Structure 1
Amino acid sequence: MQEIAATSSLLPYPPLSFLELLFRLAIALILGAIVGIERQIRHKSAGLRTYMLVSLGTAFLVLVPIQAGVAQESIEAVSRLLQGIITGVGFIGGGTILHHGGRNGSKDEVRAQGLTSAAAIWVCSGLGLAAAFGLWQMGLVGAVLTWFILDIVKRIEPHIDP
């Protein structure tokens, strides 16, 4: 019985009005920009445009089946879609990770760089998901918390690990 109740609360996804669609896509852009601005200011390889595109692209990929009526058919179809998006964004994030020599320039020591950017790209996809499903409050909280981690925690980190 709980399974039926959980499924019925998620379905159906009726097609959205143009204004609602525009609002959700604009929210996805704004949420991506909140994260992307911080990355741009720090001159990271993935900057403002990348984060906005990841968030917008994720929202698009979720909204297309909703608008086409495919999302009304089954929760399994929506689940597979989300799995594909999350996997695909993982590949984009993986592209931001570079391996260099160690801190002392030793080529024997391998050090990964860009892990935070990769994680932020993945989170940005989640922000786009929230916007696409109309959960803009959750997306806004997620974007602010992400910014907090990227900016404020970055300043605290050197004092934790000298």
Structure 2
Amino acid sequence: MIHWYEILLRLFLAALFGAVIGLEREHRDRAAGLRTHMLVSMGSALIMLVSSFGFQDIVGASYAELDPSRVAAQIVSGIGFIGAGAILLRKPGTVMGLTTASGIWTIAGIGMAIGGGMYFVAGSGTLLSFLILWGMRVLQRKFSNKFQNM
């Protein structure tokens, strides 16, 4: 088992990285904001910690076969289900919530990376996600009439 301070570090970093993306979404007044992103990221890290270290007492037992990737796959499926609920069809041809859904899915991946101890991967994913959400808006306004009023 890993030390308690490593567990706290992983959970704190997952919540912090979720907050970075959540603040951007909150600033844009989106349905999934600061708390949602923090909880999804930290919850994913928590599940990865349980998956990776929660069954140490039966490791090596002849009756048990462990595969932490199975839990990770379930996180991806579950978050996909939650994200699907964020997507709305307003009127024919107008879909809302795709960025929110993809953001929740991405933040779950960031939380999973933190839970797995992959700090550089999680930090890079957070930085790139923030740049995509914040920085690409400027390009969209400049090059697309669809985003002129945003």
TM-score normalised by structure 1 residue count: 0.81
Contact 2:52 2:116 in 1 (8 A): no
What is aligned with 1:96? Answer: 86
Give the partner amino acid of 1:153.
M
> Compared with structure 1, are the counterparts of its residues 147 and 53 closer, same or farther at alpha carbon in structure 2 (3 Å cutoff)?
same
Unmatched tracts of structure 1, length 5 or more: 1-14, 102-108
> Compared with structure 1, are the counterparts of its residues 121 and 75 closer, same or farther at alpha carbon in structure 2 (3 Å cutoff)?
farther
Give distance in 2, aligned partners of 1:140 and 1:21.
17
CA shift for structure 1 position 38:
0.2
Contact 1:66 1:72 in 2 (8 A): no
Mapping of residues 70-89 of structure 1, within 5 Å: 72=59, 77-89=67-79
What is aligned with 1:9? Answer: none
Give the partner amino acid of 2:69.
S
Give distance in 1, aligned partners of 2:128 and 2:65.
29
Give the partner amino acid of 1:140.
G
User: In structure 1, the residue corresponding to 2:31 is in which secondary structure?
Assistant: coil
Give distance in 1, aligned partners of 2:125 and 2:59.
27
Unmatched tracts of structure 2, length 5 or more: 146-150
Contact 1:96 1:117 in 2 (8 A): yes
User: In structure 2, the residue corresponding to 1:99 is in which secondary structure?
Assistant: strand
Give distance in 2, aligned partners of 1:151 and 1:64.
33
What is aligned with 1:145? Answer: 128
CA shift for structure 1 position 141:
1.1
CA shift for structure 1 position 142:
0.7
Partner of residue 67 from structure 1, selected from 21, 30, 53: 53
CA RMSD of aligned residues (A): 1.8
TM-score normalised by structure 2 residue count: 0.87
User: In structure 2, the residue corresponding to 1:95 is in which secondary structure?
Assistant: helix
User: In structure 1, the residue corresponding to 2:67 is in which secondary structure?
Assistant: helix
> Compared with structure 1, are the counterparts of its residues 117 and 129 closer, same or farther at alpha carbon in structure 2 (3 Å cutoff)?
same
